[in-house]
Amino acid sequence: EADIYQTPRYLVIGTGKKITLECSQTMGHDKMYWYQQDPGMELHLIHYSYGVNSTEKGDLSSESTVSRIRTEHFPLTLESARPSHTSQYLCASELAGANTGELFFGEGSRLTVL
Amino acid sequence: AQSVTQLGSHVSVSEGALVLLRCNYSSSVPPYLFWYVQYPNQGLQLLLKYTSAATLVKGINGFEAEFKKSETSFHLTKPSAHMSDAAEYFCAVRLGGSQGNLIFGKGTKLSVKP
């Protein structure tokens, strides 16, 4: 069973609030990812990281930011949430160099911005 | 550019019937291909993967997929559906060889009728 955790699972907030979605993994994986998932749409990669102090933007432009100060932790922050940010956010991790294609996903954080 | 197309956003089968979920890819280089499954309110988990070894790939829970280069397809099948197979299934292709990022299709929701 994968050991990757996301909090909160569900969040309803008002426009303009700052939010941080937490993602932690205990597998020692170097690579971590954030995907945005909307019904009937592809999962879109918004951020990824190869390891500590590494962050890259994905193929979908996002107003969110990420940090990677510790291997196990990859939080995503929205400085000023808007209704267009309403979505499900999935965090995933992968052992670098494993060449398996197996990403381990958290259960997701469903964000609703009013 | 690499991408995946999943034909049919929703497939419904009777319990015990054949499951066939379609995936076509476009890739300028030999692809790495994957199927992931997402059960309600959970993250994605790997079902199976093709990485240029055997063209018929067996995965978990009785699923298998066949890589057909001439048809650029990687369809997912299971001989006999079970109620517990009801979930959303995502086909994915790996960019940039074995270390690239995953690109996901839009997903196919499988319903299983008793």
Of B32, B90, B98, the CB nearest to A43: B90
Q: Which residues of A touch B10 (CB under 8 A)?
A: none
Among B3, B2, B6, B18, which Cα is nearest to B78's? B18
Q: Point out the residue among A35, A42, A105 whose CB comes nearest to the CB of B45.
A: A105
More confidently predicted of B103 and B113 = B113
How many beta-carbon contacts under 8 Å exist across A and B?
60
Asked if the model's pLDDT at residue B96 lies above 70, the reply is no
Which chain B residue has its CA at the smallest distance from A90's CA? B43
pLDDT classification of A75: cutoffs 50, 70, 90 = very high
d(CA A17, CA A23): 19
Report strand pairing: B102-104 vs A76-78: unpaired
For residue A65, is pLDDT > 90?
yes
pLDDT, tens only, B69-94: 889 999 999 999 999 999 999 999 88
**A5: which chain B residues are within 8 Å (Cβ-Cβ)?**
none
- The mean pLDDT value of chain A amounts to 91
Q: 3-state SS of chain A: helix, strand, coil percent to 5?
A: 5, 45, 50
- Write out pLDDT tens, residues A5-59: 999 999 999 999 999 999 999 999 999 999 999 988 888 999 999 999 999 998 8
Q: What span, in angstroms and rounded, lies between the C-alpha atoms of B110 and B22?
A: 12
Range in A101-105, B8-12, B60-64 with the lowest mean pLDDT: A101-105
Residue A101 has pLDDT above 80, yes or no: no
